[in-house]
């Protein structure tokens, strides 16, 4: 039987957390998201539109490295691109607040 497709972000978030159970994966996402934000700001301030090309490259390079080499799973972006982008920023904010590790522990139970 085919797996049920997730249609609401509130149902996606626990799945997203489990796909990022290793701290190394989360840290690589944090680096990629930070780089993407910096490139976006730089492209607006300088203004150098070509810097915008680096935004997805930076974000995906670090994120996918985490999935392929640390987590050893397939990025959720391939199935849920919009939810995954929202999840990346959700996790990014949770990491800034120091709450992501506890969210992983609670979800993994």
93-107: pLDDT as tens digits: 999 999 999 999 999
Residue 25 belongs to domain spanning:
11-108
The answer to whether residue 6 is domain-embedded is no
- Judge whether 61 and 53 are in contact, CB under 8 Å: no
Q: What does the pLDDT read at residue 2?
A: 58
Collapsing DSSP to helix, strand or coil, 46 comes out as coil
In the block, tokens 């797996």 appear at: 3
The answer to whether residue 3 is domain-embedded is no
Question: Structurally, how many domains does the chain consist of?
Answer: 1
Q: What does the pLDDT read at residue 7?
A: 96
Q: What does the pLDDT read at residue 29?
A: 98
The answer to whether residue 57 is domain-embedded is yes
Which residues of the chain fall short of a pLDDT of 70? 1-2
CA angle 15, 52, 58 (to 5 degrees): 45
């Amino acid at each position: 039987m085919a797996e049920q497709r997730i249609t609401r972000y509130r149902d996606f978030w626990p799945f997203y957390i489990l796909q990022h159970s290793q701290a190394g994966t989360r840290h690589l996402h944090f680096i990629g998201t930070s780089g993407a934000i910096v490139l976006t700001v730089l492209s607006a301030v300088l203004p150098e539109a070509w810097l915008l090309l680096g935004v997805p490259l930076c974000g995906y390079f670090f994120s996918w490295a985490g999935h392929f080499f640390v987590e050893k799973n397939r990025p959720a972006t391939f199935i849920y691109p919009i939810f995954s982008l929202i999840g990346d920023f959700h996790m990014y904010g949770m990491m800034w607040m120091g709450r992501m590790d506890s969210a992983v522990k609670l979800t993994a139970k």
